[in-house]
Amino acid sequence: MSGEEEENAAELKIGDEFLKAKCLMNCEVALILDRRYEQLQQMSDDPTNQISQVFEKSMQYVKRFSRYKNPDAVRQVREILSRNRLAEFELCVLGNLCPETVEEAIAMVPSIKSKGRALEEDAIEKMLHDLSLIKKFE
Amino acid sequence: MSLAAESPLQSSSSSDDFAAFLDAELDADSSNSSPNGESNDDEEIDLKEERIKRRKVEMSETIEVIESSKTADVNKEKSVLSSESTKPNLCPHPGFIKGLCLMCGQIEEDDGSGVALSYIHKDLKLGSHEMNRLRGADLRNLLREKKLILVLDLDHTLLNSTRLADVTADEDHLLKQADLLQDDPNRSLFKLGSMHMLTKLRPFVRTFLKEASPMFEMYVYTMAERCYALEMARLLDPSNIYFNSKVISQSDCTQRHQKGLDVVLGAESVVVILDDTELVWQKHKDNLIVMERYHYFASSCHQFGFNMKSLSQCKKDESDTEGALANVLNDLKHVHHIFFDPALDTDLSSRDVREMLKKVRQDVLHGCKIAFSRVFPSTVRAADQHIWRIAEQLGALCTTDVDSSVTHVVSTDTGTAKARWAVQNEKFLVNPRWVEAANYFWCRQKEDDYVV
Amino acid sequence: MFFHISMEKNMQLHPRHFGPHLRDKLVAKLMKDVEGTCSGRHGFVVAITGVDDIGKGLIREGTGFVTFPVRYQCVVFRPFKGEILEAVVTMVNKMGFFAEAGPVQIFVSNHLIPDDMEFQTGDVPNYTTSDRSVRIQKDSEVRLKIIGTRVDATEIFCIGTIKDDFLGVINDPGAAA
């Protein structure tokens, strides 16, 4: 772990462990938690007894801030983002925040324009456009 | 433990299914994303395999991490701190919340300075500079909205509470009444079982708050404990529109047995205080309007050494429309009106509500010239006497000698020379309580009610 | 940010729970023990999503308890310095506003709110631009950047800013009214 270096998500300094870990977009977490909640419902009359406050707050949060609701759209979003050789973290920030312009995308995830990264503005533009289409047809 | 064992949670097979679902759902399309963004297609396959390997390595790391996570965190924090201290940090650190600087987000050691404002957030501390900045910003805001600040005491000012254990036999009907009224939104009597309290709101208090709220930003300031204060605030303001994070209680006071405006984020020049106890406001007497005490319950009367029957025992209450709160609301409206009087040629921000309070009080007995007769010994300096000072604060001219300009003679005895002079010359002859009452009600009282 | 990670924990179980449903009991206890907890390293454990492996049990001498190493997958939520995320405003006062992103509490001081937004008192305290076009009040959705985090045993607290490009209100609950 690179614990010595100061954490800064804008430069992708989130520690090796998290950099390599799988990130989840809010819409993906919503699917997971929904599924989990359904399972609890099947097994218990009152699932609210079984879930922690953290679970409940997280579920409310991801539902409120999911830009895409249906599982097909969620899968497509990840696919489109994945074409662009983004880090998991970058991919999920973009998927969560759905920036509308290249400038906004770079402001949200400054690391995509950092040194040594060859992500062209055209490619970002295309990606944002594709994402907006999913939203439109969802 | 037993709960966990008995709870019908997922069986092992279903959780395995679920993991499989997740992999299918989430892993399918993302494995070609690489954290470093290398562009070679051939490498991507390698990366995919490496990813799996890494996971395994990661896992063995995780075990270690879980066991030592606590100490690791402490060490990490320390190392961040020390690396920070070598860099020049230009942030003035105006205040801290949970040890994090409000402005730069750094974790800083508490140097003990700053005022804790736990009524806003339990871990909030502000430096004096920041307090002043906020007061300044607040002042501009308030003046723009034509508002002043009103600091309200709870007990005996807005309400009266008694412990359930102290409810007397002839007050028993109140307990039944409180139970019956439970669902009435306009009730003023509350049995608070969890606190073992019975609370009576002062008549007119809801109207008072409603009408004061467009003119004042309101705080509750009580010497009682926080949980009681919050509960009372909830009774007075169920939808939390008046006292939103402005309930100051005992633990917030910076000085023992004293209330201070030092924890109020507002300029002293716009604060009006309503409290029945003058003693606790040593530093802010000029901001204070002393309230007549509201003793509803027998225990409250008893506590203050009164032996008469309480309002509750007589099944009576203060007047709704002519009680203390209705009276003081008129004073507050008046003070507010003259503070924002457009005819004044001074700048709003230079105006001081304390001056206004003084002025309003001076209007009470304006035009009266009072001669005192045997109210205090003739050997003492008249101008030092409490009643003399009060009369002057209320705007009266005071004298010890009578002449044609005198309007009132204050005496306890009809037989004194001055008293007789008053009767002969058709001047008012009143009891000293006439002055005291005017002082309480901020209003000249009918002389007929205070005959000697 | 939410992550899906693997973690491992040594679970202790009394032999009275042993039997055909040992695995179920371990999993149930794991969920009860782990979900909703918080650590500096991993943030909040939101939900366990699967159990990869339960290792061989080790009898602890003297107590009769048996320790099983359990490897499981879970969803965690951890905010990072420099991360931009969306949050719901929970309280507004003259010092700034509090917001929530799931289980995480965030405070945005008025130093870190754009200078053209001024605090307005009243029934619904809020920050509003001078042209009244943008307003932050309770229940507003804001996009903010985390600039500091503090983790303790039960909660994560952050300092955030909205004083930067593309940050600020994304949804105004008052606008519809």
* pLDDT band with cut points at 50, 70 and 90 for residue C62: confident
Chosen domain end from B321, B339, B357? B339
A102 located within any domain:
yes
Task: Note whether B244 and C119 are within 8 A (CB).
Answer: no
Q: Does C154 touch chain A (CB under 8 A)?
A: no
Whole-number pLDDT of residue B273: 97
Q: How far apart are CA C26 and CA B8, in angstroms?
A: 12
B chain contacts of residue C14, beta-carbon cutoff 8 Å: 1
Q: How far apart are CA B315 and CA B102, in angstroms?
A: 53
pLDDT in tens, chain B (452 residues): 434 333 333 344 444 444 455 555 444 444 444 444 444 444 433 433 333 333 333 333 333 333 444 444 444 444 444 444 445 568 889 999 999 999 999 988 777 778 999 999 988 999 999 999 999 988 998 999 899 999 999 999 999 999 999 999 989 999 999 998 888 888 999 999 899 999 999 999 999 999 999 999 999 999 999 999 999 999 999 988 899 889 999 999 888 899 999 999 999 999 999 999 989 999 999 999 999 899 999 999 998 888 888 999 888 999 988 889 999 999 999 999 999 999 988 899 899 999 999 988 899 999 999 999 988 888 899 888 989 999 999 999 999 889 999 999 999 999 999 999 999 999 999 999 999 889 888 889 999 999 88
**For chain C, percent of residues with pLDDT exceeding 90:** 68
Largest CA distance in chain B: 120
- The CA–CA distances, whole Å, from B374 to B198, B388, B409 equal 46, 13, 10
User: pLDDT per residue over B140-191, tens digit each?
Assistant: 989 998 999 999 999 999 999 999 999 999 899 999 999 988 888 889 999 9
Structural domain count, chain B:
3
B136 located within any domain:
yes
CA neighbor of A8 nearest in space, from B223, C79, B403: C79
Whole-number pLDDT of residue B141: 86
CA neighbor of B120 nearest in space, from C124, C128, C98, C122: C98
Do B279 and B247 belong together in one domain? yes
B7 located within any domain:
no
Asked if the Cβ–Cβ distance from C159 to B99 is below 8 Å, we say no
Whole-number pLDDT of residue B33: 43
A106 located within any domain:
yes
Q: How far apart are CA A100 and CA C5, in angstroms?
A: 30
Rounded to 10 degrees, the C-alpha dihedral B260/B262/B265/B266 comes to 70
Task: Note whether A8 and B49 are within 8 A (CB).
Answer: no
- For the question of whether the overall pTM of this predicted structure is more than 0.90, the answer is no
Whole-number pLDDT of residue B213: 94
Nearest to C88 among A14, A29, A64 (CB): A64
Structure token pair of residue B67: 């066991």
Do B192 and B278 belong together in one domain? yes
Domain hosting A83: range is: 71-137
Residue C41 has pLDDT above 70, yes or no: yes
Residue A68 has pLDDT above 50, yes or no: yes
Q: Does B25 touch chain A (CB under 8 A)?
A: yes
B315 located within any domain:
yes
Start-to-end CA distance of chain B, whole Å, equals: 80
Among chain A residues, CA nearest to B22? A32
What b/e sequence results for B345-383 when a residue is b if at least 16 CB atoms lie within 10 Å of its CB, and e otherwise?
A: eeebeebbbbebbeebbeebbeebbbbbbebbeeeeeee
Domain CATH for A82: 1.20.1250.40
A and C: number of Cβ contacts within 8 A: 118
Asked if the Cβ–Cβ distance from B69 to C31 is below 8 Å, we say no
Asked if the Cβ–Cβ distance from C24 to B4 is below 8 Å, we say no
A122 located within any domain:
yes
Q: What is the ipTM of this complex?
A: 0.91
Whole-number pLDDT of residue B114: 85
**Mean pLDDT over residues C157-170, rounded?**
95
* DSSP class of A8: B
Domain CATH for B397: 3.40.50.10190
Whole-number pLDDT of residue B345: 86
Q: How far apart are CA C24 and CA C69, in angstroms?
A: 15
Q: Does A136 touch chain B (CB under 8 A)?
A: no
- How close, in Å, is residue C78 to chain B by CA atoms? 14
Q: How far apart are CA A42 and CA A34, in angstroms?
A: 12
**Rounded (5°) CA angle C132-B349-B269:** 115
Q: Does A6 touch chain B (CB under 8 A)?
A: yes
B chain contacts of residue C23, beta-carbon cutoff 8 Å: 12
Task: Note whether A34 and A42 are within 8 A (CB).
Answer: no
Asked if the Cβ–Cβ distance from A23 to C80 is below 8 Å, we say no
Chosen domain end from B83, B108, B126? B126
The chain-wide mean pLDDT, for chain C, equals 91
Do B334 and B291 belong together in one domain? yes
Domain hosting B142: range is: 131-339
Whole-number pLDDT of residue A134: 87
Do B255 and B141 belong together in one domain? yes
Rounded to 10 degrees, the C-alpha dihedral B295/B299/B303/B304 comes to 30
Do B172 and B190 belong together in one domain? yes
Rounded to 10 degrees, the C-alpha dihedral B423/B427/B433/B437 comes to 150
Do B103 and B137 belong together in one domain? no
Task: Note whether A28 and B44 are within 8 A (CB).
Answer: no
B177 located within any domain:
yes
CA neighbor of B337 nearest in space, from B363, B315, B309: B363
Whole-number pLDDT of residue B38: 41
CA neighbor of A57 nearest in space, from A80, A29, A83, A85: A29
Whole-number pLDDT of residue B57: 34
B chain contacts of residue C31, beta-carbon cutoff 8 Å: 4, 9
Q: Does C141 touch chain A (CB under 8 A)?
A: yes
A6 located within any domain:
no
Structural domain count, chain A:
1
Q: How far apart are CA B402 and CA B419, in angstroms?
A: 10
B15 located within any domain:
no
A29 located within any domain:
no
Whole-number pLDDT of residue A69: 86
Whole-number pLDDT of residue B378: 84
Task: Note whether A119 and A112 are within 8 A (CB).
Answer: yes
CA neighbor of B361 nearest in space, from B442, B434, B293, B435: B442
Do B333 and B370 belong together in one domain? no
Q: Does A28 touch chain B (CB under 8 A)?
A: yes
Whole-number pLDDT of residue B24: 54
Domains of chain C: 2-77 (3.30.1490.120), 84-171 (2.40.50.140)
A chain contacts of residue C82, beta-carbon cutoff 8 Å: 7-11, 13
B and C: number of Cβ contacts within 8 A: 150
Whole-number pLDDT of residue B84: 42
A84 located within any domain:
yes
Do B116 and B160 belong together in one domain? no
- The CA–CA distances, whole Å, from C148 to A6, A9, B81, C45 equal 11, 11, 12, 20
Nearest to C36 among A36, A54, A92 (CB): A54
Q: Does A81 touch chain B (CB under 8 A)?
A: yes
DSSP 3-state of C163 = coil
Do B193 and B302 belong together in one domain? yes
Do B251 and B321 belong together in one domain? yes
Choose the mutation target among B30, B53, B79 for the interface with A, i.e. most A CBs under 10 Å: B30
Task: Note whether B186 and B207 are within 8 A (CB).
Answer: no
Whole-number pLDDT of residue B245: 84
Structure token pair of residue A84: 């662009």
* β-sheet bridge partners, residue C44: C38, C77
B214 located within any domain:
yes
A121 vs B52: which has the higher pLDDT:
A121
Do B248 and B395 belong together in one domain? no
CA neighbor of B445 nearest in space, from B79, B432, C96: B432
Do B258 and B217 belong together in one domain? yes
Pairing type for strands B397-399 and B115-116 reads unpaired
Hey, how many other C-beta atoms are within 10 angstroms of the C-beta on B155? 21
> Number of helices and strands (H, E) in chain B?
13, 16
Task: Note whether B202 and B325 are within 8 A (CB).
Answer: yes
Return the partners of chain C (3 or more C-beta pairs < 8 Å): A, B
